[in-house]
A = this chain, B = another copy of it.
């Protein structure tokens, strides 16, 4: 550690002492960078934290599995939780000043049920950015995201926040949330980190068996085939997406032929306008967000590539 300062990583389980820490940072005129996570940290998270550490003298990371972004039929209960591993990883990179581990009842003082109709308390929605793409498959997901992010922003009051491109619609939702609600902070979107075969890093990859893991790069390969077609100046939806549908169909057949004990099923492929998030028949000057979700057994993986656009 010669030449570098060893950070004193403080752990906060309650809001009040975290706010005291924040006040101290402000008094010391340190910019605060914030990376909200649901834990089960991988290199993707760590790269965002390193990015925060480059820009900000004080870095806060939250670990909170947010119930409000899970539907009743989704995996809230089995979502991977690995707190001691996470803390070891955070400590090892020496980039973190504060880890915030709030309790559900502190974040949701009115309580939280997964049944949206029965929910009480304050909720935040980003209309116009939440119903397409992932929102079609998960209609209340981004309401849960926008709500928890608003709470966390108000608790941590950071100057800079960092989210991964892997969850690209989440980035769009938060970009609009920050603008519309006038949060005095700057959003940074970090690149998707990938395994050697191209599979986007994700906490949910832990659900995959070794056999599933072997075929999981198919989503990335399919998106890449579309990107390749785009680079060959193909612009119409049908011809752009055709190679992706083909690759996934072939892989599905291959899995059946091998008598593996799982199957894969495409949830959706989306070719959307980067601003409106509406599906495109033809990619124009603004480029497109190419994204998709795929079930491997019961595990749903998600990925995206940008075609000539930024988020």
Contact = CB atoms under 8 A, between A and B. Distances in A.
Interface of A: 15, 19, 108-110, 119-128, 146, 150-151, 154-155, 157, 176-177, 179-184
Contact of A154 (B15, B109, B182): B182
A155 B179 CA distance: 11
A123 B119 contact: no
B127 A151 contact: no
A257 to B, nearest CB: 48
B19 A184 contact: yes
Nearest to A22: B184
Contacts of A120: 127-128
Contacts of A176: 110, 121-122
Contacts of A125: 122-123, 125
A146 B176 CA distance: 17
Contacts of A179: 109-110
A63 to B, nearest CB: 17
Given A108-B180, A124-B181, A157-B184, 20 more contacts: A109-B180, A110-B127, A110-B128, A110-B176, A110-B180, A119-B127, A121-B127, A121-B176, A122-B126, A122-B176, A122-B177, A122-B180, A122-B181, A123-B125, A124-B150, A150-B150, A151-B180, A154-B181, A154-B183, A155-B182
Contacts of A119: 127
A124 B126 contact: no
A112 to B, nearest CB: 10
13 contacts: A108-B180, A110-B179, A110-B180, A121-B128, A122-B125, A122-B146, A123-B127, A124-B124, A124-B150, A124-B181, A150-B181, A151-B181, A155-B182
Contacts of A127: 110, 119-123
Q: Which of A126, A127, A182, A183 has the most CB of B within 10 A?
A: A182
A126 B124 CA distance: 9
Contacts of A181: 122, 124, 150-151, 154
Given A155-B182, A180-B108, A182-B151, A122 B122 contact: no
